[in-house]
Amino acid sequence: MSDRHGYDLHTHSVHSDGTTTPTEIAVEAASLGLEGFALTDHDTIVGWDEARAAASAAGLDFLPGIEITTRHAGRSRHLLGYGVRAGSPELATALAEVVASRVGRARRMVERLSADYDVTWAEVLGEDETRTVGRPHIADAMVSKGFFASRAQVFDEVLHPASPYYEPTYAIDTVDAIGLVRAAGGVAVQAHPAAKRMKAPVSREELAEYVAAGLWGIELDHPENRPEWVPALASATEELGLVVTGASDYHGAGKVNRLGERRSDASVVEAIRAAVATPR
């Protein structure tokens, strides 16, 4: 009998805006006593093979995942997709469009910043040109150049949406993204529906729209969810028949979130796998 418990179903590696490799996540997950984890890098699945091999070597279960950059009615929404087929051409095409747009948008933000700060695109992009680029990488460059102390401080001062340096990125409509996840055989989960950085939590009406499109679960147990917003969402969740997931949204040193600080029970992962295996 193993006394390992729970899965962390939301983690980021160096393939997006995390600071640790999939292998390091697996090793840390094992030392924390997790049963398994999902790798959910932003808009990319390139870390899956390494994560799967490292999980197996560490005696852990691995669930392939992704966090898709979406928007609905002008609001930014992150959608988790579990068990999507790696080769799905429609999903791959849509994600390639998001990643390409991210590069152009980040370049333009860096261009504006470079008028006031000595920072270059090369410094932001770094060596790995395949990773999903975002504001965190701009923040990291600004921190290494000594202009700010932390990612969080750069976000607070120059990278927030109201900043003159900011530019939004192209995002898939959330309803369409749910359709893409389902068409790729996966299970769609609304990420951090009450994140404190949001002006308002995802509403019941909005959730109902997503459920009609095939949304399966909701990440009600997330360290950044504002506790005051959770009870209303919990009743909507029950009413709409959504499954609740728990996860840390680990980003290595990029965020204060600690790996495994929120977890999902193995039964949730079994339910995900059953849903993935059942054609809808």
Cross-strand pairs, 189: 80, 217
Closest by Cα among 14, 16, 11 to 28: 11
Residues lying near Fe ion in the complex (CB under 5 A): 17, 78, 191
Q: Which is nearer to ligand AMP, 143 or 271 (CB)?
A: 143
Residues lying near ligand AMP in the complex (CB under 6 A): 17, 42, 69, 134-136, 151-152, 155, 169, 197, 251, 254-255
| Angle (nearest 5°) at CA 253 between 233 and 196 | 25
Minimum gap (Å) between residue 213 Cβ and ligand AMP:
22
214, 187 Cβ separation under 8 angstroms: no
Interatomic CA distance for residues 75 and 113, integer angstroms: 25
Minimum gap (Å) between residue 162 Cβ and ligand AMP:
13
Minimum gap (Å) between residue 251 Cβ and Fe ion:
6
Q: Which does 255 bind (CB under 5 to 8 A by kind): Fe ion, ligand AMP, Zn ion, none?
A: ligand AMP
Stretch near Zn ion under the rule CB under 5 A, chosen from 63-71, 113-121, 136-144, 217-225 = 63-71
Sign of the four-CA dihedral 11, 14, 18, 19: positive
Site string for Zn ion, 216-255 (x = CB under 5 A): ---------------------------------x------
Minimum gap (Å) between residue 112 Cβ and Zn ion:
25
- Tell me: does residue 43 bind Zn ion (CB under 5 A): no
Q: Which does 155 bind (CB under 5 to 8 A by kind): ligand AMP, Zn ion, Fe ion, none?
A: ligand AMP
Helix, strand, coil % in the chain, rounded to nearest 5: 40, 15, 40
Q: Which is nearer to Fe ion, 30 or 192 (CB)?
A: 192
Interatomic CA distance for residues 151 and 149, integer angstroms: 7
In degrees and rounded to multiples of 5, residue 187 shows phi and psi of -120, 130
